[in-house]
Structure 1
Amino acid sequence: MIYDPTRANPLCGNPLKTRDDLAKAVIDLFEPLLPYFSEGGARVRLGATGAIFDRAAADLEGFARPLWGIVPLAAGGGHFPHWDLYRRGLANGTNPDHPEYWGNLADRNQRLVELAAVGFALALVPEHIWDPLSESQKKTIAAYLVAARELEFIDNNWKFFRVLIDLGLERVGVPIDHQKTVAYLDELEAFDLGEGWYRDGPVRRVDHYIPFAMHFYGLIHTVLARGDEARKERFRQRAEIFARDIRHWFGPDGTALAFGRSQTYRFAAGGLWGALAFAGVEALPWAEIKGYYMRHIRWWSAMPIAERDGVLSIGYGYPNLLMSESYNSPGSPYWALKFFLPLALPEDHPFWTAEEAPQPAFPEPVSLKPAGMVAMHTPGNVVVLSSGQQHDKMRGANEKYSKFVYSTRYAFNIEADDRNFAAASFDGMLGLSDDGTHFRMRESLEEALIAGDRLYSRWRPWNDVAIETWLIPANPWHIRIHRIATPRALNTIEGGFAIERADFNADRSEQGEGRAVWYGQTDVSAIVDLSSSPRTGHAMSPIPNTNLIHAKTLLPQLRDEIGPGTTVLITAAMALPSGQDWAEALGNPPVRPDFDELERHFRENGVRVPAFDLQT
């Protein structure tokens, strides 16, 4: 039998149209984990790969993260047949005298993350996970959780984990110092950027942690916390405003924008839509919210995201460690189950009774000022131009945060070999090399500006090389302008969008002076040089397993050498599904913009991007 990776996906074959379909999905996602529970129920070890934290913490992760889906299922009246396993595991994992003890707690430790799911369970379904326990078991569990909430949590979304632990302890009657809870809530609110956006801590970036962490946990707080009405209202108002922006990170087929870290959490990216329902925040008409929500999970149901036994893999569109983070253990992907929060709502809630509405049309570019982004809705896709954000402490940070453009349909590539300039992708990016072997890309920024629907950044790939980049929407194209000041000659490669590659070399390409095009079986991708001295077009096939969605891709590039002094490069790039009017678009690339007018526009209208404008 030929292996069909989609059949291993527990969501495969589920129509995912109704509340009952989603309830079934939770059970189907959980059941492959049962063989991996330890005898005492506290440890769930799903694979041999490691993370920066110890094995016991990783095993706790495997135990706790499924609760994000199981708890709402039970709260909404659904049947989960393994509560005895979870009660036993919780009692044993928190018991220092048991061989399956999760280990001692410490400041900024991974255990603090995973215990938030336990707090959530205690707060929402104590009748299943707490009430049947003996008094001695309750005392042991409470002591472990109280000890955890007394420790230091990282200065970002982690601070919500103390809040969630406290919600659980409060629900089951364990006394706590509420001043610590309030202090963390105050500090979390200090990350507010305005217009519904947050930072995820004192950093120059925003990413999916804003919807699936900051807003997600804030909305849970509005439902489960006692009192604190003014803060709850602020959380609701910010989420309502934010929803109108974050919808532009979702494609018409349900895909989320692949951008930033922790992509292996997959359909957690759609969790905000369910959290809005859970908190009763009709930020958009319920039919639209439900449409964004249901399309998202259906897209994932067709992807090969699980191993042969149905256990979710580390990866995105397929198993792939190259794109992972150092904190991704085999249990990490199960944060995806945060998606199922609205199962806690009754079937007659307006979210569930609404008919799904399609994504509205957005013919004009949409500015997402706090994030320094501009979204363009193209056929089958949302293209997001980015002024650039930064994360300098993780693998693949350049690709995850600093490309010029991201897309819901054409996910980004991770560079696989930093000593092979000629084989690098540089999709949505400009790569530079001063020795023909090693290379640099946009990473950290000196400045990031937004002016209406246009973006600007200044960056230095080397200390003595300064680059200014302007980004302009020209739907379905976008234009990039780079002004490069260098004291020495540099080789340059600039890439368009990576599209899926067919077997048997069935795709067709064109390459020549100032242009490269790939005519794929599903999509067409093109890059055109608008500079005064056109570069050479190159149709390349990136190293396999570097793209987040497709294991094999095609990519058009422009290549050239620039000399010492100041050089201006102007690029137009676009990609469209093969069934769309790509021929007309390809035959009518945008004209070279008026550079003087562009600079004047930014002098008069440019403002610093709020996500980047952090005083350190």
Structure 2
Amino acid sequence: MTTATRPLATSLREFDDHRLSPHTGWTRDHWAALADRLLLAARRYASASHARIAFPGAPGGYGSDVDALEGFARTFLAAGFRVAGEGGRDPLNLMEWYAKGIAAGTDPRSPERWVRLDEHHQARVEAASIALVLHLTRPWLWDLLTPKVQERVVGYLAPAAEMEYPPINWIWFQIIVGQFLASVGAPFEPEVMDAGLALADGFARDGGWYADGPERSYDHYAGWALHFYPLLWSEMAAGDPRARSRRPEYLGRLERYLHDAVHLVGADGSPLVQGRSLTYRFAAAAQFWAGARAGVPAPDPGLLRRAASGIARHFVERGAPDADGVLTLGWYGAWRPIAQDYSGPGSPYWASKGFLGLALPASHPVWTAVEAPLPVESGDYGLVVPAAGWLVSGTRRDGVVRVVNHGTDHSHPGSHLTDSPLYARLGYSTATSPLLTGEHAGHPLDQSVVLLDAAGVPSHRTGFEILATGRLASGTLVGGSRWRAHWVDPEQESPDHGFGRSGATRLGPWVGVFSAVRGAWEVRLVRVAAGAGEEPGVLHVGGWPLPAPAPAESRTATQAEASNGTLRSRIVGGPGLEACGVTSAEGASPLAPWTLVPWCATPAPARPDTWYEAAVFLGEDGEPPAVEWTGPSALRITWPDGTADEIDASPAATVAPA
């Protein structure tokens, strides 16, 4: 078997260096070989003049022309990083190959011409990748284009100055394109740049985090877009007073954010399975390379590379790219339900952002430092992310990172939308995926607290109000949220962009949830208020959705526990939550053929103004914590490690003003 025909994961092991990289074995050679494999495979799907790369698969929601532009622009990112880091050395002839495509794509008379920015809004996204790479590879590509082609490129990009961009991460596409235009002497109004930068400044939140727009939108876009572009723009605009004044702020935010980000990678390299656009896969590594490129004081370069290489290796060893060297719509292998309506066969190649590290030379400290262990490999920890309302728990024994979510729903208080599985669940982890397809994608089951109406339909929580999140002196994490339980008949005509939908709504009672988190356990406290909306129905509490090779065994439901041979998902219900069981969902996540969700519930409608508790577990094994109520909203929790905490859950018992 030749190197070309062996599985990629196998051939990459030839480069392993466990002295330099004791945790992953990965070096710059692995990354370069992976990039080359993807770029060479992409050529098989290119048009005659290379302007369009049409990967196999059903067209995306925006049509084949957009899909082919994405295929070009997003692979061009990887090519640009590859050549920039080699100082122009280009044995694969990448720059000449893509230059031919640029000449054809910008030619309005060519049958391969690109969709223009004023023809389809997605072209505004792809234009930013083209502009960024033209900047990074200027001596080896832009400067060698003929004046006529340069003129056509400027004409293609120029509409960005006059167009409206959504007030989310997209504003950076306009800024990047505008900065490139200015650098080649093309007109770009300073007022447009100032307005875009001011809008982007408004995305900044506590702790170095960014929200993707005005809503509570916290996901991987914080790293692969909202930290990625500011630092690259400030390089492009070096010497500009606007960049000079902002760059220190960008660096400070990135350093603080990366402290949290390295705590969100599992020991097996899995990023958090949360938020939209997950099919971009190892684009999640871009944030760590951005930190290395910017020279942030911490985390150190060995830890940044450990996180980035762990993510890439995680996917490569699980089948991405596939045997043909293609990144399909999916997570590991092809799994179309992970895509949003805007995703097409070329979309996964935003994974190219994960190759930003290749734009750094082999002599850079991020490539020469010895790998440092991830936080989850060093010990157990609890971390509060106030901006996102996340309680983060990592455990060394199983290498799993868990997030209990009391602050993110891709919406705002009082919105009463359906719950997106990607944003509004009560928990996410590096070892589980929410149920993304099937009946429970729209009817919350996993990591949920719901009321069932008379027809057995569960309520939603999007639009909740955030209660305080924090950390006790013992290290236990606490936080909560409250919301009007509501039922929504969603508008099916609206596009699926990964977040909740509006529709005709019925309001139910207020529900308050308070969480105490330590290690692999969460004690989840629930109270349903009286006197608002429909009378309470059955209270149903769902646990972690465990990937498994087969459904749960059919048996009398005497416990709420599931196992896949490695991890267990378990709920131990307190008084009043005596009904319990495990629901098996087939094909509902990209991690395994089946997903097993343990749950507990009240056998009859929930009693108003009464506390219910459940201990929720994801890990290898362990005894549950003991809960003792010492007052109307006060309790004592004794954890398996012997730590005892006095908890005041009263904020979750208070009904918010109407």
What's 1:456 paired with? 480
182 and 489 in structure 1: CA distance in 2 versus 1, 3 angstrom threshold: closer
| 1:536-547 equivalences in 2 (<5 Å) | 536-544=579-587, 546-547=588-589
Contact 1:418–1:438, Cα closer than 8 Å, also in 2: no
Deviates more, 1:405-414 or 1:425-434: 425-434
Deviation at 1:201, TM superposition (A): 1.0
What secondary structure does 1:253 align onto?
Answer: coil
Asked if the contact 2:212/2:226 (under 8 Å) is kept, the reply is: yes
| Letter aligned with residue 413 of structure 1 | L
Kept in 2: contact 1:398–1:442 (CA 8 A): no
Q: Distance in 1 between matches of 2:651 and 2:576?
A: 30
CA contact (8 A) 1:474 1:590 kept: no
Paired position in structure 2 for 1:589 = 625
Shift in Å, 1:237: 1.0
Counterpart of 1:611 in structure 2 is none
1:119 aligns with 131
Instruction: Report the Cα offset of residue 382 of structure 1.
Output: 0.9
| Residue of structure 2 in register with 1:412 after alignment | 434
2:643 maps to which residue? Answer: none
The equivalent of 1:286 in structure 2 is 301
> CA 1:478–1:179 in 2, change beyond 3 Å: closer, same or farther?
same
For 1:257, the equivalent position in structure 2 comes to 272
Match of 2:60 among 37, 44, 51: 51
What is the CA-CA distance between 1:48 and the residue it aligns to?
Answer: 4.0
Q: Identity over aligned residues, as a percent?
A: 28
CA offset digits 1:264-318 (Å, max 9, x no partner)? 1111112100111112223212222222122121111112334452311112233
Answering whether residue 390 of structure 2 is matched by residue 365 of structure 1, we say no
Q: 1:130 to 1:340 in 2, by over 3 A?
A: same
Query: Residues 223 and 458 (structure 1 numbering): CA distance in 2 closer, same or farther, change over 3 Å?
Result: same
What is the CA-CA distance between 1:46 and the residue it aligns to? 1.4
Q: Identify the residue that residue 439 of structure 1 maps to in structure 2.
A: 458
Deviation at 1:499, TM superposition (A): 2.4
Of 203, 210, 213, the residue aligned with 1:191 is 203
1:305 corresponds in structure 2 to 320
Shift of 1:401: 0.8
Q: Which residue does the alignment assign to 1:277?
A: 292
Q: How does 1:288-367 map to 2 (within 5 A)?
A: 288-360=303-375, 361=378, 363-367=380-384
Structure with the larger RCO, 1 or 2 (CA within 8 Å, 6+ apart): 1
| Contact 2:528–2:536 (CA under 8 A) maintained in structure 1 | no
| Post-superposition CA distance 1:458-516 (Å, at most 9, x none) | 1123213221111110322111112124643524443222223235x7x7798644x32
Determine if the alignment matches structure 1 residue 526 to structure 2 residue 538. Answer: no
Deviates more, 1:481-490 or 1:190-199: 481-490
1:570, CA displacement in angstroms?
1.4
Give the alignment partner of residue 502 of structure 1, picking from 541, 545, 549: 549
Structure 1 residues 437 and 323: CA distance shift in structure 2, 3 A:
farther
Question: Judging changes above 3 Å, is the alpha-carbon distance between structure 1 residues 68 and 349 closer, same or farther for their aligned structure 2 residues?
Answer: same
Instruction: Write the deviation string for residues 362-420 of structure 1: whole angstroms up to 9, x where unpaired.
Output: 5342111111111111231011111042236999952111111111122222241269x
Are 1:398 and 2:417 counterparts?
no
> Shift of the alpha carbon at 1:331?
0.8
Q: Which runs of 5+ in 1 are unaligned?
A: 607-616
Amino acid at match of 2:549: A
- 2:448: which partner in 1? 429
Q: 1:198 to 1:268 in 2, by over 3 A?
A: same
- Structure 2 residue corresponding to 1:92, chosen from 104, 114, 125: 104
Q: Is the alpha carbon distance of 1:593 and 1:427 closer, same or farther for their aligned partners in structure 2, counting shifts above 3 Å?
A: farther
Between 255-264 and 172-181, report the one with greater CA deviation: 172-181
Q: Decide whether the 8 Å contact of 2:514 with 2:649 is kept in 1.
A: no
Supply the AA of the counterpart residue of 1:381: V
> Per the alignment, in what secondary structure is the counterpart of residue 289 of structure 1?
helix
- Unaligned ranges ≥5, structure 2: 17-24, 472-476, 487-506, 636-645, 654-658
Compute the TM-score of the two structures, normalised by the length of structure 2: 0.82
Quick check: 483-492 or 245-254, which moved more? 483-492
Give me the whole-angstrom Cα distance separating, in 2, the residues matched to 1:482 and 1:39.
62
Residue in structure 1 matched with residue 561 of structure 2 by the alignment: 517
Distance in 1 (alpha carbons) for counterparts of 2:340 and 2:177 = 25
State whether residues 526 and 613 of structure 2, in contact with CA within 8 Å, keep that contact through their aligned partners in structure 1.
yes
Q: Which amino acid aligns with 1:573?
A: V
In the alignment, residue 447 of structure 2 is paired with which amino acid? G
- TM-score, normalised on structure 1? 0.88
Counterpart amino acid of residue 335 in structure 1: W
> Is the Cα contact below 8 Å between 1:425 and 1:542 reproduced in 2?
no
Residue 568 of structure 1: aligned partner: 611
Name the SS for the 2:130 alignment partner. Answer: helix
2:173 matches 1:135: no
Q: Is the contact made by 2:539 and 2:605 (CA closer than 8 Å) also made in structure 1?
A: no
The secondary structure found in structure 2 opposite 1:458 is: strand
**Preserved contact between residue 61 and residue 332 of structure 1 (Cα < 8 Å):** yes
C-alpha distance 125-12 of structure 1, shift in aligned 2 (>3 A): same
Distance change in 2, residues 1:396/1:270 (3 Å): farther
Per the alignment, residue 283 of structure 2 pairs with 268
Counterparts in 2 of 1:340 and 1:306: CA distance versus 1, 3 Å = closer
Q: How many residues are paired up?
A: 587
Q: Structure 1 residues 509 and 248, CA, compared in 2 at 3 Å: closer, same or farther?
A: farther
User: Is 2:172 aligned against 1:160?
Assistant: yes
Question: Do the aligned partners of 1:488 and 1:565 also contact (CA within 8 Å) in 2?
Answer: no
Check conservation: 2:417, 2:462, Cα contact below 8 A.
no
Query: 2:419–2:425: 8 Å Cα contact kept in structure 1?
Result: no
Counterpart-to-counterpart distance in 2, 1:139 and 1:383: 51
* 1:499-538 deviation line (CA, Å, top 9, x unaligned): 23235x7x7798644x3222322222211102x2232221
CA distance in 1, matches of 2:566, 2:556: 19
What is the CA deviation profile of residues 410-465 of structure 1, one whole-angstrom value per residue up to 9, with x for unaligned ones? Answer: 2222241269x9xx772211344314453333222144432433111111232132
Q: Is the 8 A contact 1:46 1:331 kept in 2?
A: yes
Return closer, same or farther for 1:303/1:397 CA change in 2, 3 Å cut-off.
Answer: farther
How far 1:558 moved relative to its partner?
Answer: 1.6
- Structure 2 Cα separation of the partners of residues 385 and 497 of structure 1: 11
Q: Where do 1:212-227 residues align within 5 Å?
A: 212-227=224-239
The answer on whether the counterparts of 2:49 and 2:112 sit within 8 Å (CA) in structure 1 is yes
**Is the CA contact (8 Å cut-off) linking 2:206 and 2:386 kept in structure 1?**
no
Q: Conserved in 1, the CA contact under 8 Å of 2:521 and 2:617?
A: yes
Letter in 2 for 1:429: S
Mapped partners of 1:155, 1:32: distance in 2:
35
| Aligned-residue offset at 1:255 | 1.3
Rounded Cα–Cα distance in structure 1 between residues aligned with 2:12 and 2:223: 26
